[in-house]
Structure 1
Amino acid sequence: MDLYIDAEIIGFIDYKIEDELLQKIYISHISIDAYYQRNGLGTYLINCLKKEFITIALLSFTKSLNIFYEKNNFVEDLSKRKLKNNTNYVWTK
């Protein structure tokens, strides 16, 4: 699927987000409105597509944070765990 991409938006994202995968996700997410509104897709479907991209972006962001924590000597702090899927980290250096 080809997406309409605004060069100014891409420049802003490149400046703010260094992770290439996250850049692509956010560029695609921002481009959904411009592409589909230009081609007449209804607002409901646009919002559904945006929710899918938000989910992917959050999963990718979580993975990136986990890699950051591992590289910077953070370890999981089990004593502060609040929810089954909520991980807290403490710095060990």
Structure 2
Amino acid sequence: MRILEEFWYGNIEPTEYDTSACKEYKKLLELICRNEEKLKATITDEQKELFDKYSDCVREYQSITDYLLFQSSFKLGSRMMLEVMENIPFNS
């Protein structure tokens, strides 16, 4: 029950996760940043503004996707726990 209390009090942020152990994630993030810097150095101010708007939309989309994934995973985990609990015999 402790994990639910942590959620309730806002001590756990479902969309935050540790990526330090994932080398692929870190490498990809570095590549994204490097390519974004190169792209911004070669485009006009008008194009930069459009690219920034595009990037903001992509980030918002990813945030919503993360939320929906967490929600679905939490529901699946809850159903699994209920099924396990239903199959545990109780001694009366």
Same fold (TM over 0.5): no
Superposition TM-score tier, normalisation by shorter sequence: 0.3 to 0.5
Which structure carries more helix by proportion? Answer: 2
Structure with greater contact order relative to length (CA < 8 Å, sep ≥ 6): 2
Which protein has the larger Cα radius of gyration, Structure 1 or Structure 2? 2
| TM-score (norm: length of structure 2) | 0.41
| TM-score (norm: length of structure 1) | 0.41
Which structure carries more strand by proportion? Answer: 1
